[in-house]
């Protein structure tokens, strides 16, 4: 078979009869005929001109879309066969050639069965190409996701296949490839003596008595029900008289069963009159097995329609529900026709076609929805059924009254829609809320269709109102209902949205295209969780019943998928997670709860390459000890070496080069158990790049938008400098405690991370009784409207004052105001959580946040990690302020020196190397025993207070010391953290303030100077000039940060046999007022030489700095190099969002000193 590419040209050659109806849109007259199927089409349905030698068409002729798809599928299968032949040949280059054939097959058609590609993958395994087989299998696994087909299609996979790169972890996924998808043989009922007695009685039915015939039929049905209920497959086989071939050939058995099912189909078709007189429950059973019979007769779609008719009749037995789980293989045969249509329609939208020009013909048929379903005047689906304990009389009467008043003209369509919306607060279940929104949207849609020629603003408003009601209905389903009902909502919502946009016509906007894309995505995603598509469209009074039916069906289906490893609808991780979510939300509870939860958690961890121990290590720290069982110990002090209680201020010396330039004022602990900060914390803050230090953000968020009840939450934080530090653990622990308090659950750090009520753990030994009320979870504070809340800790303002005395800057830091903020959240149409701005101040979440804010300091006494968080906010302000000074110093020192550029690039490269750590922790959920969904809490910490000008008093115990004295301390560290800035031994200068040099080599050797200055980089290099007896070198540079300075430079050099000298004078006006001069002299003789260098600069337009470097060397001369190295540079940072440690300082005129302060 030679593949002939499809070419598209203008068509209009073959004419059809003028009175024929178009096969696509039923328009007339028709002008074009398909050369393959000879169907007629109109001018609005252009065909493709294709050359297809396989069917005898050697020149381009018009061919319709269906025939084109069939031809492309056959061509793709030929390419797959060619790929298999190449692999079996094992010739040189056969593997790459076979992959090329697979690529051509993928480009040829989007309807290529995945089983064909899996056959190629299996053949690659058999022939020893293991890594290539697993690469192809990974592509197949991604293609099997219906959700991704819409946006990714197949083309992003081409690059992966072309590269044929080895897939390293292939051994871990070996079992996945050992069971590629093959159509399993479904166990079906084998009816009694079908091959003999049914044929006999159908041949002479007219000659028999009706009563005797009906008795015989009834006996067959009873025998069938009994055998099926007991699952006695051998007995069924004996009844059908196929026992003699069971052990001979399975194919013969399968063919025999197929023949028996065909006979059953014929028989049931002839006794429809009798079936109509049976009880609905017996009719349900017969339709169910008749559907099986038609499936085995190769009429899959008709068979599925009959089975769905039986399932949604309301009389489906539990045994039949279990049998429906076997239909997954048939659904795979049914899905492609639906999927291909939806993918085609979604492509049109993705290509930015105007929504008013999109034709949705056939969409309702594919979704199994009729125009009658879109009529708000519809009847009940199950008028004779009810659910015990649920009274729907009020709902039924309200809905009936609205319909009658519309018929009588007392209400118009618009008012009828709002009448249903007004009923929503009275709904007893979320399913009723969802159906109320849908039915209201149907009234608005009916009003929209009746005013297509009306006012444009009115049409636009009705369209927007209709789409808004549909969005609210889908949101209720996503939050409070199981995936079966979510699929119902997405399917029904897509139909209503398409109708509304079509009815709006030219008033549809480009934003409507995005809405349709999201509904298409939702249909693809949720359709995988339900075996049947054609759910009945029900009124509000039957919402409970639909929820019950779909819940049972969905649970049975999920349990089957968990046992069936050959399915390709869902991954094993998705199945296990869905069972977990259904259980914790009390939607579809399972019997083995603990085992179900552990399997889901383990599968999700394995999917991300994590282990149980990774999660435990992330949760644990020596700051907050835990019991052997993993429970957090509630104590009034932190563990570890934390020698300081608080940071009270700091000093910056901008002129003296012989003394340390930065000193900090702290209050040391009187009791070893009361410390909150350590020198390592100060050093960690100073390492954070300037662009990341304000703000420092941290949060705990869901790892996936589609899995809102994920058993874990993901840590997100900014600034890589915080990784593996005690500061990061503090952010984690405070935010995690806030989550636990808000939902009332204490989480163990020991796998499998059990949860218990906070009253049994975190707050069990809390002495003040009123604090237990303050920490009461939100579900105990009243009715919760939004079960997803975002809580975060925020620093609103910080008290500080600054005093300048010559070159000295004195900063005093006072109190920090900490608050707890909250915002309810809802899931949008895109699947993501969004804040709800209009939060009720009397809601349980607002009350919880208010109580914690008012008692924050008292809570810190019993949970000191909250007090430590407040102190870290002060450290953040300290790092931000000193960093700004360093940044100004950088602007006054610039050089193009190659060595400095090399140092700068190395510093950046070092910062980009991050250690990979676990970023998941268990999610704390409300310990609800009953309810429709669990309460989830998200959020983080935001420390970004504003600067408040207020006096800060001096307190007892303040002490001030150099920073070098702090770095020699050895506080407790959760993980290895460098206590002094790397990498050279001569480092004695922090943040650009230079101290006395330390010489590490002999006096007759050159001395290496390195001055590290936070985020700035600059420096100089001095190279030797030598004569017979000695040499001297001088070099100098300047920079003008204010763009208005003027610099002059004169250099003189005198050299002789006995020595040399260099003098350099610079003058500039950097701050428009100052003037600097520099003199560098070098005198060299046979006995030695000296170099002196002086720099002066004005970084903040007021200050003045000076530096002096001296070097004396032996008779060979000297070499002195000085530069500022960039430790963090621009820094590699990750901006993910979450905790915000960035207080805005509130400037003060005077902050008094406090007793016991110490300055270092």
Q: Under 8 Å CB-to-CB from 778, ≥6 apart: which residues?
A: 742, 743, 784, 789, 844, 845, 847, 848, 935
Q: Which residues contact 203 (CB under 8 A, 6 or more apart)?
A: none
Listed residue (106, 94, 105) closest to 132, CA to CA: 94
Inform me whether the pLDDT recorded for 153 exceeds 70: no
> Of all helices (H) and strands (E), which one includes residue 395?
helix 393-407
Q: How far apart are CA 107 and CA 112, in angstroms?
A: 10
Q: Is 1015 exposed, middle or buried (0-12, 13-18, 19+ CB in 10 A)?
A: buried
Instruction: Give the pLDDT score at 470.
Output: 92
User: Is the residue at 101 inside a domain?
Assistant: yes
- Residue 183 pLDDT more than 90? no
If asked whether residues 253 and 352 sit together in one domain, one would say: no
The closest alpha carbon to 345, from 503, 489, 494, belongs to: 494
Is the pLDDT assigned to residue 80 strictly greater than 90?
Answer: no
Residue 825 and residue 882 in one domain: yes
Residues 12-31 have pLDDT tens digits of 334 444 456 777 776 666 66
Question: Residue 496 — pLDDT band, cuts 50, 70, 90?
Answer: very high
The pLDDT score that the predictor gives to residue 19 is 53
Residue 346: half-sphere exposure toward Cβ, Cα within 13 Å: 26
- Let me know if residue 1131 belongs to a domain: no
Whether pLDDT at 705 is above 90: no
What pLDDT is recorded for position 1042? 37
- What gap in Å lies between CA 979 and CA 291, rounded to an integer? 74
707 pLDDT higher than 60: yes
pLDDT of residue 1012: 28
* Higher-confidence position of 604 and 1115: 604
pLDDT for the residue numbered 48: 67
- Number of structural domains the chain divides into: 5
Q: Pick the residue with more confidence: 605 or 365?
A: 605
Same domain, 717 and 859: yes
Residue 38 has pLDDT above 70, yes or no: yes
**Nearest-angstrom CA–CA distance, 430 and 472:** 12
* Whether the predicted pLDDT of 1039 surpasses 50: no
- Whether 1054 shows a pLDDT value over 70: the answer reads no
Mean pLDDT of all residues in 837-845: 75
Percent of the chain with pLDDT over 70: 51
Please give the residue that has the higher pLDDT: either 240 or 69: 69
In a domain, 1140, yes or no: no
Does some domain include residue 137? yes
- Specify the pLDDT at position 763: 87
* 914: pLDDT strictly greater than 80: no
83 and 224 both lie in a single domain = no
More confident call, 850 vs 70: 850
- What residues contact residue 1137 under an 8 Å CB cut-off, 6+ apart? 697, 699, 701, 716, 718, 940
Q: Please state, in angstroms and rounded to a whole number, the distance separating the CA atoms of residues 575 and 569.
A: 10
Mind spelling out the 3-state secondary structure of 1048-1111? EEEEEEEECCCCEEEEEEEECCCCCCCCCCCCCCCCEECCEEEEEEEECCCCCCCCCCCEEEEE
Q: Give 698's contacts (C-beta < 8 A, 6+ positions apart).
A: 715, 716, 717, 718, 728, 731, 732, 735, 940, 941, 1138, 1139, 1140, 1141
Residue 882 host element (H or E): helix 865-891
pLDDT at 122: 79
The model's confidence at residue 334, banded by pLDDT at 50, 70 and 90, is very low
Q: Are residues 855 and 956 in the same domain?
A: yes
End-to-end Cα separation, the chain, in angstroms: 85
Q: 618 lies in a domain? A: no
Give the mean model confidence (pLDDT) for residues 1134-1153.
41
Long-range residue pairs from 162-169, CB within 8 A, at least 24 positions apart, any chain: 162/99, 162/103, 164/95, 164/96, 164/99, 164/132, 164/135, 165/135, 166/131, 166/135, 167/131, 167/134, 167/135, 167/138
Q: Which of 153, 178, 203 is the last residue of a domain?
A: 178
Q: What is the mean pLDDT of residues 694-714?
A: 78
pLDDT-based confidence at residue 451 (cuts at 50, 70, 90) = confident
What stretches of 505-571 show up as alpha helix (H) in DSSP? Answer: 510-527, 543-563
pLDDT in the model for residue 554: 79
DSSP state for residue 110 in the 8-state scheme: S
Phi-psi region of 93 (alpha: psi -120 to 50; beta: other; left: phi over 0): left
Answer with the one of 316, 348, 380 that is the final residue of a domain.
Answer: 316
Q: Which domain holds residue 304?
A: 194-316
Q: What number of other Cβ atoms are within 10 A of residue 90's Cβ?
A: 11
Q: Is residue 9 part of a domain?
A: no
Stronger pLDDT, 91 or 160, i.e. the higher one: 91
- Beta strands across the sheet bearing 1107-1113: 1084-1085, 1088-1095, 1107-1113
For residue 537, give the nearest of 463, 623, 442 by alpha carbon: 442
- Assess contact for 828 and 475: CB atoms under 8 A: yes
Residue 623 lies in a domain: no
Distance CA 437, CA 434 (A): 5
- pLDDT tens, position by position, 795-830: 888 888 888 887 788 888 888 888 888 887 766 666
Q: What is the 8-class DSSP label of residue 107?
A: H
Assess whether 662 and 750 both reside in one domain: yes
Give tens-digit pLDDT for 395-417.
888 888 999 999 998 999 999 99
1142 pLDDT higher than 90: no
The token pair at 87 is 């692999």
Domain shared by 401 and 426, yes or no? yes
387-399 mean pLDDT: 82
Q: Is the pLDDT of residue 938 over 70?
A: no
pLDDT for the residue 466? 92
Categorize the per-residue pLDDT at 223 as very low, low, confident or very high, splitting at 50, 70 and 90: low
Model confidence at 1043: pLDDT above 50: no
Residues 658 and 747 in one domain: yes
User: How confident is residue 469, by pLDDT bands cut at 50, 70 and 90?
Assistant: very high
Q: Which two tokens stand for residue 47?
A: 């065909």
Q: Is residue 220 part of a domain?
A: yes
Q: How far apart are CA 834 and CA 1003, in angstroms?
A: 67
Nearest to 173 by CA among 216, 139, 219, 207: 139
* Rg (alpha carbons) of the chain, rounded to whole number: 39
Are 557 and 466 part of one and the same domain?
yes
User: Are 146 and 245 found together in one domain?
Assistant: no
Indicate whether 443 pLDDT > 90: yes
When mean pLDDT is compared over 198-212, 346-360, 518-532, 621-635, the highest value belongs to 621-635
Higher pLDDT, 464 or 2: 464
End position of a domain, from candidates 178, 204, 229: 178
Burial class (CB in 10 A: 0-12, 13-18, 19+), 961: middle
On whether both 944 and 1084 belong to a single domain, the answer is: no
Cβ neighbourhood burial of 91 (10 Å; 0-12, 13-18, 19+): exposed
For residue 890, what pLDDT is reported? 55
User: Tokens 């560098």 — which residue?
Assistant: 1080
Model confidence pLDDT, tens digit, residues 570-623: 777 888 888 888 887 777 777 778 888 888 888 888 888 888 888 888 888 888
This prediction has a pTM of 0.56
- pLDDT over 90 at 1037, yes or no: no
Instruction: Tell how strand 1107-1113 and strand 1088-1095 pair up.
Output: antiparallel
Strand partners, 959: 666, 1158
More confident: 820 or 1131: 820
Higher pLDDT, 321 or 1074: 321
Q: What is the pLDDT of residues 640-681, one digit of tens each?
A: 888 888 888 888 877 754 454 778 888 888 876 788 888 888
Selected residue with higher pLDDT from 120 and 108: 120
Please give the backbone phi and psi of residue 574, each rounded to the nearest 5 degrees, phi first: -65, -40
String of DSSP letters for 1011-1060: EE-TT--EEEE----B-SS-B---------TTS----EEEEEEEE-SS-E
Q: Other CB atoms closer than 10 Å to residue 592's CB: what's the count?
A: 10
Cα-based distances in Å from 977 to 362, 684, 967, 985:
64, 9, 12, 18
Between 935 and 93, the higher pLDDT residue: 93
Show Cβ contacts of residue 790 under 8 Å, excluding neighbours closer than 6 positions. Answer: 822, 823, 824, 825, 833, 835, 937, 938, 939
Question: Scanning the structure block, which residue is given the tokens 């360093």?
Answer: 886
Which residue shows structure tokens 């058993």? 711
CA distance 236 to 187: 11
374 and 297 within one domain: no
Q: Cβ contacts of residue 574 below 8 Å, gap of 6+?
A: none
What is the arithmetic mean of pLDDT over 137-146?
Answer: 59
pLDDT for residue 1101 is more than 60? no
pLDDT of residue 434: 92
Helix 572-584 crosses helix 543-563 at what angle (to 10 degrees)? Answer: 140
| pLDDT averaged over every residue in the chain | 65
Coil vs helix vs strand at 1123: strand
């Amino acid at each position: 078979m030679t593949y002939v590419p499809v070419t598209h040209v203008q068509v209009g050659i073959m004419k059809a009869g003028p009175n024929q109806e178009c096969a696509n849109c039923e328009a007339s007259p028709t002008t074009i005929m398909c050369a393959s199927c000879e169907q007629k089409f109109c001018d609005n349905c252009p065909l493709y001109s294709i050359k297809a030698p396989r069917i005898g068409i050697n020149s381009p002729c018009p061919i319709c879309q269906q025939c084109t798809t069939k031809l492309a599928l056959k061509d793709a299968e030929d390419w797959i066969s060619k790929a298999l032949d190449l692999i079996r040949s094992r010739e040189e280059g056969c593997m790459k050639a076979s992959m090329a054939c697979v690529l051509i097959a993928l480009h040829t058609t989007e309807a290529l069965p995945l089983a064909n590609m899996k056959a190629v993958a299996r053949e690659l395994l058999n022939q020893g190409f293991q890594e290539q087989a697993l690469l192809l299998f990974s592509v197949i696994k991604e293609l099997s996701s219906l959700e991704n087909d819409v946006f990714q299609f197949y083309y992003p996979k081409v690059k992966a296949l072309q590269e044929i790169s080895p897939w390293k972890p292939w051994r871990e996924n070996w079992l996945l490839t050992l069971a590629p998808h093959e159509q399993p043989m479904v166990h079906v009922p084998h009816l009694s003596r079908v091959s003999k007695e049914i044929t006999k009685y159908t041949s002479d039915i007219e000659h028999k008595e009706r009563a005797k015939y009906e008795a015989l039929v009834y006996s067959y049905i009873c025998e069938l029900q009994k055998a099926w209920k007991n699952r006695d497959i051998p007995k069924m086989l004996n009844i059908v008289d196929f026992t003699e071939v069971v052990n001979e050939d399975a194919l013969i058995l399968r063919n025999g069963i197929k023949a028996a099912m065909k006979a059953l189909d014929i028989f049931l078709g002839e006794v429809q009159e009798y079936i109509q007189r049976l009880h609905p429950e017996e009719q349900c059973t017969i339709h169910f097995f008749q559907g099986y019979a038609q499936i085995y007769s190769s009429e899959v779609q008709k068979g599925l329609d009959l089975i769905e008719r039986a399932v949604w009749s309301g009389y489906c037995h539990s045994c039949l529900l279990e049998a429906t789980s076997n239909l997954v293989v048939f659904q795979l045969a049914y899905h492609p026709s639906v999927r291909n249509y939806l993918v085609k329609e979604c492509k049109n939208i993705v290509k930015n076609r105007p929504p008013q020009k999109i034709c949705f013909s056939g969409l309702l048929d594919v979704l199994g929805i009729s125009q009658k379903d879109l009529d708000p005047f519809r009847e009940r689906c199950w008028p004779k059924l009810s659910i015990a304990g649920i009274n729907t009389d009020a709902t039924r009467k309200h809905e009936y009254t609205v319909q009658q008043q519309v018929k009588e003209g007392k209400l118009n369509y618009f008012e009828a829609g709002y009448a249903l919306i007004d009923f929503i607060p009275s709904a007893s279940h979320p399913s009723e809320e969802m159906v109320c929104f849908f039915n209201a949207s149907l009234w608005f849609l009916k009003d929209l269709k009746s005013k297509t020629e009306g006012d444009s603003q009115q049409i636009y408003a009705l369209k927007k109102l209709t789409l808004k009601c549909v969005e609210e209905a889908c949101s209720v389903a996503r939050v409070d209902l199981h995936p079966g009902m979510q699929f119902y909502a997405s399917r029904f919502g897509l139909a209503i949205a398409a109708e509304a946009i079509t009815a709006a016509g030219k008033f549809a906007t480009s934003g409507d295209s995005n809405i349709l894309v999201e509904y298409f995505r939702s249909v693809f995603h949720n359709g995988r969780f339900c075996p049947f598509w054609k759910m009945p469209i029900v009124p509000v009074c039957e919402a409970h019943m639909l929820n019950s039916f779909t819940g049972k069906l969905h649970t049975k289906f999920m349990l089957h998928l968990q046992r069936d490893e050959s399915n390709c609808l869902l991954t094993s991780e998705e199945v296990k997670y869905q069972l977990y979510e259904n259980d914790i939300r009390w939607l579809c509870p399972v019997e083995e709860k603990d085992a179900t939860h552990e399997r889901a958690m383990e599968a999700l961890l394995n999917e991300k390459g994590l282990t149980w121990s990774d999660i435990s290590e992330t949760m644990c720290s020596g700051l907050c000890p835990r019991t052997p069982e993993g429970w957090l110990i509630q104590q009034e002090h932190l563990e570890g070496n934390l020698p300081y209680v608080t940071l009270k201020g700091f000093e910056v010396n901008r002129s003296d080069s012989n003394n340390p330039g930065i000193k900090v004022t702290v209050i040391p602990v009187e009791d070893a158990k009361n410390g909150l900060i350590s020198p390592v914390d100060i050093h960690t803050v100073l390492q954070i790049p300037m662009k990341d230090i304000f703000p420092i953000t941290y949060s705990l968020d869901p790892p996936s938008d589609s899995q809102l009840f994920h058993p874990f939450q993901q840590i997100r934080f900014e600034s890589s400098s915080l990784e593996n530090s005690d500061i990061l653990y503090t952010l984690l622990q405070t935010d995690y405690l806030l989550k636990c308090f808000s939902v009332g659950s204490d989480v163990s750090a020991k796998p499998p991370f059990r949860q218990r009520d906070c009253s049994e753990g975190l707050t069990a030994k809390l002495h003040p009784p009123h604090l237990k009320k303050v920490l009461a979870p939100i579900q105990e504070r009243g009715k919760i409207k939004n079960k997803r809340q975002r809580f975060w800790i925020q620093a609103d303002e910080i008290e500080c004052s600054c005093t300048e005395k010559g070159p000295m800057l004195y900063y005093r830091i006072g109190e920090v105001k900490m608050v707890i903020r909250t915002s309810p959240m809802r899931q949008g149409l895109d699947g993501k959580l969004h804040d709800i701005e209009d939060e009720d101040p009397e809601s349980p979440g607002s009350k919880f946040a208010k109580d914690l804010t008012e008692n924050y300091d008292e809570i810190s006494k019993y949970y000191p990690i909250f007090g430590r968080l407040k102190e870290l906010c002060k450290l953040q302000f300290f790092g931000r302020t000193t960093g700004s000074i360093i940044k100004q110093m950088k602007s006054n020192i610039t050089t193009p020196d190659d060595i400095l550029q090399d140092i700068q690039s190395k510093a950046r490269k070092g910062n980009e190397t991050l250690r990979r750590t676990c970023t998941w922790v268990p999610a704390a959920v409300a310990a609800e025993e009953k309810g429709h969904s669990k309460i989830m809490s998200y959020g983080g910490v935001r420390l970004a207070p504003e600067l408040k000008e207020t006096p800060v008093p001096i307190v007892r115990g303040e002490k001030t010391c150099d920073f070098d004295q702090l770095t020699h301390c050895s506080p407790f560290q959760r993980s290895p953290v460098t206590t002094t800035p790397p990498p050279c031994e001569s480092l004695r200068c922090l943040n650009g303030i230079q101290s006395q040099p330390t010489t590490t080599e002999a006096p007759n050797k050159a001395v290496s100077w390195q001055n590290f200055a936070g985020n700035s980089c600059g420096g100089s290099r001095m190279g030797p000039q030598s004569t017979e007896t000695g040499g001297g070198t001088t070099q100098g540079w300047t920079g003008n940060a204010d763009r208005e300075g003027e610099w002059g430079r004169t250099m003189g050099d005198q050299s002789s046999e006995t020595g040399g000298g260099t003098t350099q004078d610079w003058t500039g006006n950097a701050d428009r007022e100052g003037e600097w001069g520099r003199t560098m002299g070098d005198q060299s003789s046979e006995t030695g030489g000296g170099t002196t260098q002086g720099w002066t600069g004005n970084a903040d337009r007021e200050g003045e700095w000076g530096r002096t470097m001296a070097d004396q060397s032996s008779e060979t001369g000297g070499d002195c190099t000085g530069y500022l190295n960039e430790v963090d540079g621009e820094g590699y940072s990750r901006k993910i969002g979450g905790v915000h440690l960035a207080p805005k300082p509130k400037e003060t005129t005077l902050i008094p000193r406090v007793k016991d302060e110490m300055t270092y």
